[in-house]
Amino acid sequence: MAEGNWRIYVATDLEGASGVFRFAQTRDTKSPLYVQAMEYLMGDIAALVRGLREAGAARIVVSDGHGRGDNFIPHLMEPGATYVTGGPRKPAEGLDRTFHGVVLLGYHAMKGTRDGVLNHTQSSSAEMRYWFNDRESGELAMAALLAGGFDVPVIMVTGDTATCREARDFLGRSVITVATKRGIGREAAELYPFQETRAAIFEGAGKAVEAIGRCRPYKLPAPIRCRREWIERTERPSETRIAVREASVRDVKKIVDF
């Protein structure tokens, strides 16, 4: 691949963006805190896009992944990329085999991670948990599997320190990680100033492009044994129970809803 022709797909979430550490910033789309969190996310995206462009990316697609997928603020879009948002749409809309790398921006650790800020897997209210081939996995691994289905490796992950650790655990040491805060608890963090996180994201983007050749697509032997647990609540708290579903899944696009 000639330098400068890199095609990069960016999947975003909100919990791992700079400055985000409370569920009040990520749940109610009408809250001023939520709108402010969207601004924080746009700032992180802008730093990433600038860094990727500087490193020679020719095509950058940024995909809005948190909640219902309505988290972008159009007038804050950094030039040099396109932005996929709104719904309904399929997960990883626009991703295909022509891309060279995926960046997971603003991600969070899986449910149950002690020092993972806003840790959850798919649903924080139902306390959902997932296992694939007996290994408990979070949204980071799910996104990496989806990209792996197109033979595209994850080259960079941003989020709190727990997310960065989870990225290395699942994806190996070649993936570039940038911590936007130090995780202390589910709603507690040591925040890093925006100027510093964005400088680190910009710099990380350059390293990520250099790492393309070293990163391998994340794949699991098929069929994938999938297990999901969640809390089923009724009117009476005494009837609350843990529900379980298991399935054998061949298509990685179906590992979330089986």
Piece in contact with Zn ion (CB under 5 A), picked from 10-18, 47-55, 125-133, 226-234: 10-18
Element (H, E) at 107: strand 101-107
Residue 150 CA to residue 99 CA, distance in Å, equals: 9
Q: How far is the CB of 38 from Zn ion (least distance, A)?
A: 12
Q: How far is the CB of 107 from Zn ion (least distance, A)?
A: 8
Report the 10 Å Cβ neighbour count for 250.
8
Q: How far is the CB of 1 from Zn ion (least distance, A)?
A: 32
Residue 186 sits in the site that holds Zn ion (CB under 5 A):
no
Residue 119 CA to residue 112 CA, distance in Å, equals: 7
**Number of residues this chain uses to bind Zn ion (CB under 5 A):** 4
Q: What is the 3-state secondary structure (H, E, C) of 119-164?
A: CCCCCCCCCCEEEECCEEECHHHHHHHHHHCCCCCEEEEEEEHHHH
Residue 13 sits in the site that holds Zn ion (CB under 5 A):
yes
Residue 66 sits in the site that holds Zn ion (CB under 5 A):
yes
Residue 83 CA to residue 67 CA, distance in Å, equals: 16
Piece in contact with Zn ion (CB under 5 A), picked from 13-21, 34-42, 189-197, 230-238: 13-21
Q: How far is the CB of 71 from Zn ion (least distance, A)?
A: 9
Nearest residue to the partner Zn ion, using Cβ: 66
Q: How far is the CB of 24 from Zn ion (least distance, A)?
A: 14
Q: How far is the CB of 74 from Zn ion (least distance, A)?
A: 20
Residue 56 CA to residue 207 CA, distance in Å, equals: 11
Residue 120 sits in the site that holds Zn ion (CB under 5 A):
no
Residue with Cβ nearer Zn ion (14 or 143): 14
Whether residue 107 contacts residue 16, with contact meaning beta carbons closer than 8 Å, is answered with yes
Residue with Cβ nearer Zn ion (122 or 174): 122
CA dihedral 70, 73, 74, 77 (to 10 degrees): -120
Piece in contact with Zn ion (CB under 5 A), picked from 37-45, 54-62, 65-73, 144-152: 65-73
Tell me how far the alpha carbon of residue 157 is from its chain's centroid: 7
Give the footprint of Zn ion on this chain (CB under 5 A).
Answer: 13-15, 66
